[in-house]
Structure 1
Amino acid sequence: MEAKTFNHIPLSVLDLAFVLEGSTPKQSFQNSVRLAQNVEAFGFNRYWLAEHHNMPGIASSATSVLIGHIAGATNRLRVGSGGVMLPNHAALVIAEQFGTLESLYPGRIDLGLGRAPGTDQATVYALRRSLNQRVEDFPNQVDELEQYFAGTGSVQSIPGSGLDVPIWLLGSSGFSAQLAAQKGRPFSAASHFAPDNTMASLNLYREQFQPSNHIDQPHAMIGVNVVAADTDEEAKYLATTQQQQILNLRRGQPGKLQPPIENTDAVWTELEKAIVEQSSQSPYTIIGSKETVQNDLEQLLEDTGADEMIITSQVYDIDARIRSYEIIGELME
């Protein structure tokens, strides 16, 4: 595998529009605009937003609306979904939404698709009015969506028909990797929250890839959690926000993003500490100074052969979050 460096590996941003403890979704959207404008100046390639529902700490539920808001506040960034959970929607509606976005911001919109619900079963029912959706239906939904963009069906997506909106398949297992390979589409591995399946998914994607009129060779992106600061000690302190988020999810108590704390032992049991620390030791979670982050990202690049990396940073203070991305962006210079 050809060695790659940050000189030709694009870095991108995954934003969940975190709602901070003591704050509101309105402030989250203002923070996202600030972050997007800054990372655009830092040289990042894409800015993706993820669909989640019924989660107090994530405000990006109306994903396509927020994509338009961010695209309108920036000039060059590719803005898209990381991803839209297609089973929650009628394919025609997504074609119309992203056809509208592509018409407003030509050449800057990405459509990343996932098949997980992004929420709990009660919310799935509220979204779909049915729990009969099967995993096997997802490829058919993608086919239908592609037909709307191609303009080959009896129903036309206006806007959308005839527009070239890049479709990515996102996944934490081999299912979407295999589908992306069969369709000749780029694949984004959800390695930031499902690291154990990443290499198997990437290998499956590359082995089974079939060239298409979209791309002629496999193109894979990996997700990485990064908390960067001027020192390793500061980064570890800022990362206690992410650790509290993991802890609350493990407890089944998702909440708003918490400020960092000095003494983590005060908030968890020994068993919980071991679980959270195991998550933090994943190669797809990197915490430290610029030198530490650079060394770990370069090792990850060598191990995975990724064509792109998309970075998410669960940092409470927006200025510290912007600084984290600034340090990461310096690696591309």
Structure 2
Amino acid sequence: MIIKMKKDAEWSVIEKIMDSLKKKGLGVHDINGEEYRIIGVIGDTSGLDMGSIEGLPGVETVTRIQEPFKKANRVLKSEDTVIDVKGIKIGGGNFTIMSGPCSVESRDQIIEVAEGVKAAGSQILRGGAFKPRTSPYAFQGLELEGLDLLKEARKITGMPIVTEIMSPSLVDKFVEDVDIIQVGARNMQNFDLLKALGKTQTPVLLKRGMSATIEEWIMSAEYIMSEGNPNVILCERGIRTFEKYTRNTLDLSAVLAVKKLTHLPVIVDPSHATGKRWMVKNLAMAAAAVGADGLMIEVHNDPENALCDGAQSLTPAGFAEVMVDVKKIAELVDKRI
């Protein structure tokens, strides 16, 4: 429920309404905008009489939120959320580039890739230390050793790091070591993990599940936000359809839908979406054109011999070429890189 207060409503009146709602066991979210002030009410509001609330001093309008997601809802917060990661802004007209290898394989590999993507304009370094794989016999990542190598690459390049978490037991370690914690597609509905991450304030990059609807995806973000962490970045990475030519089917319409429904930033991963490196540039440009807030692109110094997802990985030189055209599109739609 949204309670919009009159512009001249006194704080003592607003506070009295909020205290009354809290006594009913409801969550209260006070939002003070430039031209308005609203009270967001979270919880079961079916027992509240909207007419009685509208009659209270200082209240202008009362509106129920129809969607099951509340804190992520654009109705609750009309301004775009902007997430600050070591001075790098994600959302709010910024276009943020995250790039790096699918998996960290060695010190030489991650340092070479990190230096290459930074030179080309990437702001954040991605790399997998823990790898969820379909086959138990596939390379599972270097795990904690890989995390240490990412931290070394961060120290050398100055780029913040984003990497995927697999288990709630690793949350404290990741909060200590990682700048953005990625929840992969396979863990999008790992609710114990989402709730654990919600108890932190570390930014979370939430990838869309391969068979998830847009509402299910946003509801997973709501799990994180409901526990107190507002710093959620959504990532469209393609969904599973009947089509087999590409690895997944990139749903660019989801970018538009999510930005209409929520205030959260949304980025696009054209690498996992297609599984084909030759498609990455055009789809990265398309993502910028439809209003995405950034990209996540896989880059490897030797894709042909990569231990994971080499077919979709660009070389550092190829990534630099992509960045030239992506920047042109970003400028056309008034995005800042």
TM-score, normalised via structure 1 length = 0.51
Which has the bigger relative contact order, CA under 8 A and spacing at least 6?
Answer: 1
Contact 1:170 1:187 in 2 (8 A): yes
Distance of 2:161 and 2:198 partners within structure 1: 19
Distance of 2:145 and 2:217 partners within structure 1: 25
Distance of 1:178 and 1:204 partners within structure 2: 14
Partner of 2:66: none
The alignment status of 1:287 with 2:278, answered yes or no, reads yes
Q: Deviations over 1:46-89 (max 9, x none)?
A: 22223235566646351x542331231233212111x323xxx2
Q: Deviations over 1:155-186 (max 9, x none)?
A: xxxxxxxxx42112112323334322563521
SS at match of 2:132: coil
Partner of 1:96: 172
Q: CA RMSD in A?
A: 3.8
The alignment status of 1:112 with 2:182, answered yes or no, reads yes
Shift in Å at residue 221 of structure 1? Answer: 0.8
Partner of 2:217: 176
**Which residues of structure 1 form unaligned runs of 5+?**
1-6, 19-24, 103-108, 118-134, 150-163, 210-216, 227-278
Distance of 2:285 and 2:148 partners within structure 1: 33
Contact 1:181 1:208 in 2 (8 A): no
The structure with more radius of gyration:
2
More helix by share: 1
The alignment status of 1:142 with 2:224, answered yes or no, reads no
Q: 1:98 to 1:205 in 2, by over 3 A?
A: same
Distance of 1:326 and 1:34 partners within structure 2: 14
The alignment status of 1:202 with 2:247, answered yes or no, reads no
Q: Deviations over 1:111-155 (max 9, x none)?
A: 0113626xxxxxxxxxxxxxxxxx86x2343113322x3xxxxxx
Partner of 2:267: 221
**Which residues of structure 2 form unaligned runs of 5+?**
1-92, 240-245, 307-313, 328-336
Shift in Å at residue 101 of structure 1? Answer: 0.7
Contact 1:11 1:309 in 2 (8 A): yes
Q: 1:146 to 1:297 in 2, by over 3 A?
A: closer
Partner of 2:114: 36
SS at match of 1:191: coil
Q: 1:178 to 1:71 in 2, by over 3 A?
A: same
Shift in Å at residue 197 of structure 1? Answer: 6.1
Distance of 1:224 and 1:197 partners within structure 2: 7
Partner of 1:316: 304
Partner of 1:297: 284
Q: 1:9 to 1:195 in 2, by over 3 A?
A: farther
